[in-house]
Structures are given as C-alpha cells and as structure tokens.
A and B are shown apart, each in its own frame.
Chain A
Amino acid sequence: MFPPFPNPPTTPTQARFGEGDLIRRSASSVTPPAQRQTEVAKLIDVSKCIGCKACQSACLEWNDLHEEVGVNVGVYDNPLDLTPASLTVMRFTEWVNPESQNLEWLIRKDGCMHCEDPGCLKACPAPGAIVQYSNGIVDFVHENCIGCGYCVKGCPFNIPRISKVDEKAYKCTLCSDRVAVGQGPACAKACPTQAIVFGTKEQMKSHADGRIKDLKSRGFANAGLYDPPGVGGTHVMYVLHHADKPEIYAGLPNNPRISPLVDLWKGVSRYAGFAAIGAFAVFSVLHSVVAGRSKVSEEDETNAKRLADHEGSNGSQERAST
C-alpha cells in the first residue's frame, strides 16, 4: 500500500509555495527561483481504477463546484465531458482485445495533465492568467483570464473549458491549495483503491514500476507508464495495461505535442487584450488546416467575440458556484 498522507494540520500553516516559486507565467516573464522545488506528480493507475467516481465527487466538493444534473445518453459517463465545473471525469471504454477476444472495460480519469511544457500557458495571451510553479503544477489565475479560449487550442489533451457564466477558463489545479499545505489532491484522498496516488515525481515513477511489473506478470506485456515526452513529461501520469495503445483509453493522445502553431502565432499575440481576437482567428484557421484536432466550440467563438467587443472586459462576474 502506498503510505497515505497524514491528516491535515489543524493550525494555520505556511504555504509551501507561492509567487516566488513561479517558473513560467503566461504572456510575461518571471524571475525564476534560485532553486526549483521537488517536482510533484499524480499517478493514475488505470488498472486499479474501478470507475467509482469518488474522485469526481471529491473534486466537486473540495472545489465547491456546482454541476448540473444531466441526462443519461446511454453510457456510464456523467457528466459526459469536462465542463467548467467538472474538472475531472471518468471516461468508460468497452474495448475488445483483438488478441484474446476478451472484453476489457477501460476506465480513465480524465483531467489536466500538468505538462512540464504546458501548451495552454504557451498559447495564453493574457499576462499571468496561467502560471507554472517550480514543483510542476500548472494553475489558472482567473482574475487575469480573458476567456479567449487559446488555452483550449494550445492544450494537446483538450482539457480547459470556458465558463459561459464568467467567461473564464477552468481546469484541474492539482489541488494546488491542498498541496501548498502538505496534502495530496482531493481526488487522491478520496480514491478507495489507491488508483490515484500523489507524491514526488520520482516516487510516482518508482511506484509505477512496481505496478507495471505486476501487470506484466498478469499477461499485460505492454503495460507501461504514460509520461509523454512530447510535452516534456507530465505531472499527472497514467499506468496503462496497454501503454503501446494509449488511444484506446478514450482517445488519450499517442504522442501529444504542442501545436507548432502556438509558437507561430505567439509572436503576433504577445500583447493581450483586443488584439487577441485577431490572432485567435488566424490561429483557428491555421490550426484547423494543419492539425484539425482540438476544436474551439461555437460558444467559445461567441465568448471570444463578446470579449473583444467589450475590449477585454473586466470580467468580474462571479461564477455560479452555489
């Protein structure tokens, strides 16, 4: 068993990282700290996951989010996709193994991967709306967010979602508020089978080694760790029974990379605000021609347009989170 985190302190605790530990800041520069903090990571062992959605529940509760009661569309996935309130969802795939003809029910917890080389941050034109701490956590700073949707475009995993209510982008924070006081993410705390564990990246890799060995002994010859090099590795990693085919896990990208266009248009949009929408349009066209994978929805387009009309807006609307 992976040693669980001790109970949280009952007295106020000094945050273990903050502004001084930023290594990246969107559309702006930071003075990197003299010493980088130990990198953290969350390991999601898909082979231990029973799809109970305790992680989804814990995420909603800890972050005090209000998701709508949806409908059943004929699958177990609910909500059906990530939303500004559902920062993580379980994705269920019924996959028949062509070798054994056995059914495998692949259940993957989807959410932000906290890339070492974060495409969202690189794409973001709003200064300080997306930051990366030296421990690897990529966080959205909502007061700086202009809701342009570039982060969605820049993300090779299609994770951020723009709220229709406050027109800001939302994604998993890796519970940076909990980690700052020595706790693991709420999802890891709630996971009954330790399919989600949290610690330093090195600890997670070595824990994964043990799991992969176990899976190989059970006949999963291609079991492995998903820590894609195309984005510099991630601070959320998966143990997969079929690491040679990540795409069977509800479309987990085989070799995720930041769209080359992010660098291309970044020069144009270095300065945020009303200039953004122009760059956005250029990017959209180019991106759909070249990559064509992640899509900015109609809503996002509308939001971005409205934003541009209001010349950046002050965006102080409160989120409907009650």
Chain B
Amino acid sequence: MTNSWTDIKNTDLVVVMGGNAAEAHPCGFKWVTEAKASRGAKLIVVDPRFTRTASVADFYAPIRQGSDIAFLLGVINYCIQNDKVQWEYTKAFTNAAYIVKEGFAYQDGLFTGYDESKRDYNRSTWDYEIGPDGYAVVDETLAHPRCVWNLLKQHVAIYTPELVERICGTPKDKFLTVARMISECASPTKTMTSMYALGWTQHSKGSQNIRAMAMLQLILGNIGVRGGGMNALRGHSNIQGLTDIGLMSNLIPGYLTIPTEREPTFDSYMSTRGFKPLRPDQMSYWQNYRKFFVSFQKAMWGDAATAANGFAYDWLPKLDVPAYDVLRAFELMHTGKMNGYFCQGFNPLLSFPNRRKITAALSKLKFLVVMDPLQTETARFWQNHGAHNDVDTASIQTEVIELPATCFAEDEGSLTNSGRWLQWHWAGGTPPGEAKHDAWIMAQIHLRLKELYRKEGGPVPEPILNLEWRYKDPDEPTPEELAKELNGYATDDITDPNDPTKVVLAKGKQVVSFAALRDDGKTASGCWIYSGCFNEAGNNMARRDTSDPDDTGAFLKWSWAWPVNRRILYNRASADVSGKPWDQSRKLLEWDGTKWTGYDVPDIAPNAKPEVVGPFIMNPEGVSRLFTRGMMRDGPFPAHYEPFESPVVNVVAPKVRGNPVARVFRNDMEQFGDAKEFPYAATSYRLTEHFHFWTKHSHVNAVLQPEFFVEISEELAKEKGIKRGGTVRVWSKRGSVTAKAVVTKRIKPLICDGKTVHIIGIPLHWGFMGAARKGFGPNSLTPYVGDANIETPEYKAFLVDIEPIAGPVA
C-alpha cells in the first residue's frame, strides 16, 4: 500500500477492482464502511462476479477476467477526452512532459524491439531522449509529439467505450458510469483509493494491470494524498514482510537485488546502481544503494566482510537466470534437476498451478522437508486419498521429513501489514507437542551444517563458516535479537566528521534509522527499509498509542511503519508545486517557507525546496512515471493481452496469444487449452469463511463453509442441466475436479465481441487434510504460466468445461 488501512477512511471513492476486499480482507474493509458512513464515500466494484464487496457497493459493473487493462486504459482515455485530468499534478509530478527516444513505437500489440524467438524485447528505445547536459529532455508545453503525454494519449485512444464493451463484456452504459464517477476525482479536493489484490496480480500481465491503475491515479492526482493511493491488499498477515525481507529468489532484503553472473565483482555490481539523477537537483534516493548494500553484507558476515574483500561480495550467490521463482523451481524438480526441497510455511501441492505436474515433480525428489504447524497436503502428497489424491504410493521414493513448527499465536515477533506497519505481537500460548519455533529449527540446521563444513570441508565453505551469529543463545535467536539486527547497529565507533574525537554512535549501539547507515563498513543493517524499527528508543513496533491528532488516520505512535514511520508514501505530492496542500481539509504536509511540516513524516528532505525537488524521490527523475522506460519486460505502457487461455481472440492484436513475453516452459505450451475444447472462462478466489488451506483444519471454519463448490450462472446451469446443489465435474486440459454446484444470479454470462462468455468461479480452500470435507482446489486446473515480470501464476483466468454428474452415494 502507498497509504494505510486507517487512511482509507479519508477517501471519497473506493474502487475495488482486481480484489474482493470485503471477502478476503474483512477486517481492513471496516475502513471502507467507515468512509461510506462518515464521509459519504462511494464504493465501486468491478468484478466478473457480484461479490460480497459488491453487496455493499454503490455501483457494480461486471468485467471478464483478464481484461482489466482494456477497461482501465478505457477510463484513462475517457479522462483525457473529457478533460478530467489534474493538470497541475500531472505536469509537475509525472513524466508527462518527458521526450521519448526516436524509434519507440507500438503496433499490432507489440512495442518496438520484439524478438519472437526469445519471447523478449530489446528495450533500448524505451527511454527518454537525453540532452547534452546529461539530463532527460522535457517539453513543459506538452506539444512535442514524442512527449510521454502525447504518446499516452495516442496509446489509449483505441480504448473507446465500445471497444471496452467488446473486450471486457462490460455494458457500455455501466462502463461510462464507472468512468464518470472515477473522473470526478480529478478535482484536487476529491480523492479515490484503489484497493486491489490477487485479482490483478495473478495474470500473465499482472504487473501491468496494477500499472494501468497507477497511471490513472497519477493523472487524477491521487498518489501521495490522504484517501488516495495504490493499495495492494496483501493476502497473508505478513506477506508484505516476506517481500520486504527479500524472500524472493532475485532479491535481498529491502528490495536490493541479488547479483547476476554478469556481475562477478562488487565494482561491476555497483556500476549499474549509481542512480544518477535524470533531472537537475533531484534526490534520487537510490544513490545511497551502496550504504544499504554494504550494511547488509556487514549484518550477514560481520568482521569477515571487509573493504578489502569487497564486503564479502563473493559469498553472495550469483543468478544465472532472472529468478528461481516457484514455477522454475518445480520445473527443475520435474526435469530431475532439483533433488531436495525445503518447504517452510507453504503448501505447494495446493498452491502451485497444474497440480499433476506438482505431484510428478515432488515424486522425483530425493527428499522433501516440510516445516509447518499443520499437516499439509504437500507433506502427504505421496498418500493415496482416493479421488482426492489418487497417487500410487509404492512408486514414490521421496523421503519426507516433517518438522512441526509453531503457529503465529505461539510465537513473538512482528507482522508487516499491507500498510507497511510492523506490528509486534506476543505469544498467546505455548507450542504443542514437539513443535518448535522456526528460528530454532533454522538455527539448528545452520549450526549443524557449519559443524559439517568445519569437520569435513567442502566447496565454498566461507559463507556458512563466516556467517555472523551474534545471539545470546546460538541455538535459538530471539525475535528481539533478529529485529535489532534488521534495524542495524554500529560495528565500530562512529565519530562526528567535524570532530573526530567526538563519538556520535558507539560501537554496538542501534542506528536511529537508515539515514545513519554507511558504506565504509561501520554499520550493519539486515534490511535498510526496516531501519528505525528497533533503535535505541526501544522496540518501536510494540508501540500501542492510539492518539491521532486531528483525526487524520495517521496514528504515528501506533506500531511503526517503514520507511522511517512514514504512513503515506510520496506524501510531498499532497501539496501543490509551491507546497500548499491541494485540499486544506485533507492536509498532510505543507511548506512553511523553510521546511516541510504536517501530520506525517515527510517523504522528502525536510528542507528540500518545493519548486526544485520533485516528490518521487526514489526515481532519478524526481517525478512519477506514466511511461516506465525499460523497467518492465512487457512494455513501457500497459497494453491489452488476453490470458493464455481465453474464450475470445485478442481483438486488438489477433496474432498475439497471451502476454508475448511471458515465460513458458517447454511442454507447458502444449498444455494450454483452447476455447473450442474448453468453452468456459474460469477464475479462482477465496471465500471469507476460510484462510487459504489453513482454516479447513479448524472445526469452526469447516462448519461455516464445509464443502468445495463451484459457482455458475443460472443461464449456464440451465444450458447444461445442472441443478443447485448438484454435483458437477469441471476439467481443463490439465486436470479434473468434482464439486457441488452453487447456481447463482451473482454470475451472469457476458457478451464479448458478440460471443456469449460463461464464467465459472472456483474457490480454493479445500484439500484432503483437515476438518472440512475433502475436496479439490483450482490448481488442479490452472495453467503453468506466470506474469512476465514477476512470475505470479495465472490463476485468475483459464479455460474449463463442465458437466453434471451423479453425486456421491451417501
């Protein structure tokens, strides 16, 4: 989230698209009902299904899954055509005026530089024209034909309300109502918040779905303001923490990147991470990259990381591929190249696409270690459960080791919520039986590996032998110790640069924030963005002061938010170019002539002059990007692409299947179905009664939603002879499931490009373990392909067929 949950109460318009906040985030959704009840805010839901969120919405519009970009570019087009643009914001705070290089173009669904054989682009033209002064060239008048604004205008022009209806199946009048309601938020005194979740990410163009809305929010002037923002509703209590801490195969904590094979030395790694400003006087905050990186290395390897050895750069792994994401990991397993798998707090047998492939992959492993508080399906993948897990146990040789771990309520620590708040919690119970905290398990594995290396040697032992391990009880680091390590500390006395005799931070003391981190090795910090969470003032995450001056929703003394307790990112943009708030009633920051003051921690240097320094300090431009240069693999603007399995052809670019640069492994392409064989458009989702595959182990949740079902329209039910509560079989090119049928008015057939498209909804909470009835998940059906940029699997749009079958004999 750019903003916070509590800030949603400040909005005028909530748009829930690509998510179902009431269903999947019922507690956070309270801030939507609060905005409605107290401010008279309106709520719009755009979704293939009339969801629980839609049940309390002011307006609902249906959309075919996987067509969001067409819809959103349609809204951008509507805003441009009807002059509903927050012009001052757009001109000053976005790259609308920047001139794009000669040669950049978009045609027939493809941008310049496409190489079909590589399924990749040469992105060299996707950039700004650089002037002789070394800065990007801009045309403040927006007259230049190649300025970003004119390219955008041209790019979205085809997405008329008529084309939106053809692609999305959203009736034109409903689309126009949504577009009109959204466009009203171009006023500097009206804001809209975008609440989205996996309904946007789980597509082969998921990142671009989000970009499209971010661009819309920028031209409406809704980023950095109270009640605005791009608000990703994270799907687990701590999934924000997972990404922050760098549990992605290509990241290290704080969104620093793992080196690649092309960066064999520390210098070569840093050479592409200079982040020189692209406009004069801009902060380009990533210029501090070296400080964050060196401090991370010091946290990892302590005294063994020295300037002389490039701060132990050699001990970091170097990627030979863009990422070892889950799809690649299981592909490697499936092809016999990965033989062991540690599965910590994850249930891949139900979570990853094409379950048949997942089962086959797990069956080829030599060993599988499952660390989990629950008996997961993954831990029992080898066990025959009749139709629900029809495997030949005798043929599976994988050794499975289960390490019972604790659940959140049995452990102390912090959870990072969607709003980037690190909230400390305390253990509410003791672990049952032999269950152990994850930190204990990890420590034991590390200590024993270290011992083996010490005794027996082996290739590259240094990263293990030298790993910093400064815990009071080496057998079990405490959550407080780990948090303090993330915050960072001085590894040596740090003196005042003007008076070397004066120690400003003594060795061993906690740094106050990442502003104190250094690139000379005198500080260590496990995750720079978390720096400040546990400093000499104590555990700031444990703060529980509910005061909120002037009811702004900031709650600065409740827990701690990264970065530096800032609650709304880009908050300098809440004020106009001169530093005056756009909306006095929603004041966040203002320039008092010498410094920035207000209700939140300024997202800019406190004395940065408003007319000089741009609000988007992480970008070398100082402004936000409507045109994202070469940062994304599939285009500097979003463009409409169909899902890999779509009921209709791409009307914009009939020759393009799916996202043209999404990675598809050999043999997976053949496993995509087409609309002739599989006529119905399926989508997957959560239900509020359950949390993923956990709560089916809980009796009460099992009572509230006991049995796997699929949802279909009354029209499709009639066509196929399916009765409400009857049993159906649903199958795709990759697998088949049986389920109860919920026949509902909440799903309606859509007319897309003249063709009737039936939608089948498939919730995801059932398996063959736990208290609920045995069932299936959508991953038995879903295709093995992910987003072109981050490989999130395409769970939200795929093709199936359906038929009624005789129910089980009672």
Q: Are A194 and B703 in contact (CB under 8 A)?
A: no
Q: Are A79 and B703 in contact (CB under 8 A)?
A: yes
Q: Are B688 and A52 in contact (CB under 8 A)?
A: yes
Of the residues A47, A61, A72, A96, contact of B700 by C-beta under 8 Å: A61
How far apart sit A54 and B36, CA to CA, in the bound complex (Å)? 21
Known A-B contacts A50-B56, A69-B773, A192-B27; the reply to A78 vs B746 at CB < 8 A is no
For residue A210, which residue of chain B has the nearest CB? Answer: B37
Q: Are A74 and B725 in contact (CB under 8 A)?
A: yes
Q: Are B37 and A60 in contact (CB under 8 A)?
A: no
For residue B723, which residue of chain A has the nearest CB? Answer: A74
Interface assignment of B26: CB less than 8 Å from any CB of chain A:
yes
> Which residues of A from 53 to 94 have beta carbons under 8 Å from B?
53-54, 56-57, 60-61, 66-76, 78-79, 86, 94
How far apart sit A214 and B26, CA to CA, in the bound complex (Å)? 21
Q: Are A52 and B703 in contact (CB under 8 A)?
A: no
Mark interface residues in B293-326 (1 if CB within 8 Å of A CB, else 0).
0000000000000000000000000000000000
Which residues in A have their C-beta under 8 angstroms from that of B745? 94, 96, 103
Known A-B contacts A72-B740, A192-B29; the reply to A53 vs B704 at CB < 8 A is yes
Which residues in B have their C-beta under 8 angstroms from that of A48? 33, 37, 56
> Which residues of B from 51 to 102 have beta carbons under 8 Å from A?
52-56, 58, 60
For residue A58, which residue of chain B has the nearest CB? Answer: B700
Q: Are B38 and A78 in contact (CB under 8 A)?
A: no
How far apart sit A78 and B771, CA to CA, in the bound complex (Å)? 15
Interface assignment of A131: CB less than 8 Å from any CB of chain B:
no
Q: Output the least CB separation between B509 and chain A (Å).
A: 36
Interface assignment of B743: CB less than 8 Å from any CB of chain A:
yes
Interface assignment of B702: CB less than 8 Å from any CB of chain A:
yes
For residue A95, which residue of chain B has the nearest CB? Answer: B745
How far apart sit A212 and B30, CA to CA, in the bound complex (Å)? 18
Mark interface residues in B697-738 (1 if CB within 8 Å of A CB, else 0).
001111111111100000000000001111000000000000
Q: Are B29 and A94 in contact (CB under 8 A)?
A: no
Interface assignment of A35: CB less than 8 Å from any CB of chain B:
no
Which residues in B have their C-beta under 8 angstroms from that of A214? 36-37, 40
Interface assignment of A271: CB less than 8 Å from any CB of chain B:
no
Interface assignment of A51: CB less than 8 Å from any CB of chain B:
yes
For residue A67, which residue of chain B has the nearest CB? Answer: B703
Interface assignment of A316: CB less than 8 Å from any CB of chain B:
no
Which residues in B have their C-beta under 8 angstroms from that of A76? 705, 742
For residue A76, which residue of chain B has the nearest CB? Answer: B742
Of the residues B37, B55, B772, contact of A107 by C-beta under 8 Å: B55
Of the residues A50, A71, A102, contact of B23 by C-beta under 8 Å: A50
Q: Are B56 and A47 in contact (CB under 8 A)?
A: yes
Interface assignment of B478: CB less than 8 Å from any CB of chain A:
no
Which residues in A have their C-beta under 8 angstroms from that of B753? none
Interface assignment of B22: CB less than 8 Å from any CB of chain A:
yes
Q: Output the least CB separation between B27 and chain A (Å).
A: 5
* Number of residue pairs A-B, CB distance < 8 angstroms: 125
For residue B22, which residue of chain A has the nearest CB? Answer: A50
Q: Are B742 and A75 in contact (CB under 8 A)?
A: yes
Which residues in B have their C-beta under 8 angstroms from that of A105? 50, 52, 54-55, 746
For residue A48, which residue of chain B has the nearest CB? Answer: B33
Q: Are A192 and B30 in contact (CB under 8 A)?
A: yes
| Most chain A CB neighbours (cut-off 10 Å) among B52, B700, B744, B745 | B700
For residue A105, which residue of chain B has the nearest CB? Answer: B55
Known A-B contacts A50-B52, A73-B725; the reply to A68 vs B703 at CB < 8 A is yes
Q: Are B704 and A51 in contact (CB under 8 A)?
A: no
Q: Output the least CB separation between B37 and chain A (Å).
A: 6
Known A-B contacts A50-B55, A69-B773, A192-B27; the reply to A74 vs B688 at CB < 8 A is no
- Interface residues in A, total, Cβ within 8 A: 44
Q: Output the least CB separation between A42 and chain B (Å).
A: 17
Of the residues A54, A69, A96, A102, contact of B702 by C-beta under 8 Å: A69
Q: Are A54 and B741 in contact (CB under 8 A)?
A: no
Interface assignment of B184: CB less than 8 Å from any CB of chain A:
no
Q: Are B741 and A74 in contact (CB under 8 A)?
A: yes
- Interface residues in B, total, Cβ within 8 A: 47
How far apart sit A104 and B56, CA to CA, in the bound complex (Å)? 9
> Which residues of A from 107 to 161 have beta carbons under 8 Å from B?
107
Q: Are A74 and B726 in contact (CB under 8 A)?
A: yes
How far apart sit A54 and B25, CA to CA, in the bound complex (Å)? 12
Mark interface residues in A4-45 (1 if CB within 8 Å of B CB, else 0).
000000000000000000000000000000000000000000
How far apart sit A48 and B707, CA to CA, in the bound complex (Å)? 27
For residue B714, which residue of chain A has the nearest CB? Answer: A94
Which residues in A have their C-beta under 8 angstroms from that of B56? 47-50
Interface assignment of A1: CB less than 8 Å from any CB of chain B:
yes
Of the residues A66, A74, A211, contact of B740 by C-beta under 8 Å: A74
Interface assignment of A217: CB less than 8 Å from any CB of chain B:
yes
How far apart sit A48 and B34, CA to CA, in the bound complex (Å)? 10
How far apart sit A68 and B699, CA to CA, in the bound complex (Å)? 9
For residue B708, which residue of chain A has the nearest CB? Answer: A72
Q: Are A50 and B743 in contact (CB under 8 A)?
A: no
Interface assignment of A288: CB less than 8 Å from any CB of chain B:
no
Of the residues A72, A106, A107, contact of B742 by C-beta under 8 Å: A72
Interface assignment of B674: CB less than 8 Å from any CB of chain A:
no
| Most chain A CB neighbours (cut-off 10 Å) among B23, B55, B726 | B55
Q: Are B40 and A217 in contact (CB under 8 A)?
A: yes
How far apart sit A39 and B389, CA to CA, in the bound complex (Å)? 56
How far apart sit A29 and B702, CA to CA, in the bound complex (Å)? 44
How far apart sit A94 and B702, CA to CA, in the bound complex (Å)? 24
Q: Are B38 and A50 in contact (CB under 8 A)?
A: no
Interface assignment of B263: CB less than 8 Å from any CB of chain A:
no
Known A-B contacts A105-B746, A194-B30; the reply to A74 vs B706 at CB < 8 A is no
Which residues in B have their C-beta under 8 angstroms from that of A255? none
How far apart sit A105 and B744, CA to CA, in the bound complex (Å)? 11
Interface assignment of A193: CB less than 8 Å from any CB of chain B:
yes
Interface assignment of B689: CB less than 8 Å from any CB of chain A:
yes
Of the residues A50, A75, A107, contact of B724 by C-beta under 8 Å: A75
For residue A86, which residue of chain B has the nearest CB? Answer: B703
Q: Are B52 and A103 in contact (CB under 8 A)?
A: no
How far apart sit A192 and B704, CA to CA, in the bound complex (Å)? 17
Q: Are A211 and B706 in contact (CB under 8 A)?
A: no
Q: Output the least CB separation between A91 and chain B (Å).
A: 13
How far apart sit A97 and B691, CA to CA, in the bound complex (Å)? 33
Of the residues B22, B53, B701, B706, contact of A57 by C-beta under 8 Å: B701
Which residues in B have their C-beta under 8 angstroms from that of A73? 724-725, 740
Which residues in B have their C-beta under 8 angstroms from that of A67? 700, 703
Q: Output the least CB separation between A295 and chain B (Å).
A: 22
How far apart sit A52 and B33, CA to CA, in the bound complex (Å)? 14
For residue B34, which residue of chain A has the nearest CB? Answer: A1
How far apart sit A68 and B53, CA to CA, in the bound complex (Å)? 28
Q: Are B703 and A71 in contact (CB under 8 A)?
A: no
How far apart sit A10 and B50, CA to CA, in the bound complex (Å)? 44
Of the residues A47, A54, A74, A103, contact of B746 by C-beta under 8 Å: A103
How far apart sit A57 and B724, CA to CA, in the bound complex (Å)? 26
Q: Output the least CB separation between A188 and chain B (Å).
A: 13
For residue A79, which residue of chain B has the nearest CB? Answer: B703
Q: Are B33 and A70 in contact (CB under 8 A)?
A: no
Which residues in B have their C-beta under 8 angstroms from that of A104? 55
Mark interface residues in B405-426 (1 if CB within 8 Å of A CB, else 0).
0000000000000000000000
> Which residues of B from 767 to 809 have beta carbons under 8 Å from A?
771-773
Of the residues B53, B705, B724, contact of A78 by C-beta under 8 Å: B705
Q: Output the least CB separation between B5 and chain A (Å).
A: 11
For residue B726, which residue of chain A has the nearest CB? Answer: A74
For residue A106, which residue of chain B has the nearest CB? Answer: B55
* A/B interface sample: 11 pairs, CB < 8 A: A50-B53, A60-B700, A67-B700, A69-B771, A69-B773, A74-B724, A74-B740, A74-B743, A103-B60, A104-B55, A192-B30
Other than the given A57-B701, A69-B706, A73-B724, 20 more pairs (CB < 8 A) read: A48-B33, A50-B688, A52-B23, A52-B26, A52-B52, A52-B688, A53-B689, A60-B703, A69-B772, A70-B706, A72-B709, A72-B742, A73-B725, A74-B742, A76-B742, A103-B745, A194-B30, A210-B37, A214-B40, A218-B58
What 8 pairs across the A-B complex have the smallest Cβ distances? A74-B725, A74-B724, A50-B22, A105-B55, A72-B707, A73-B725, A193-B33, A72-B740
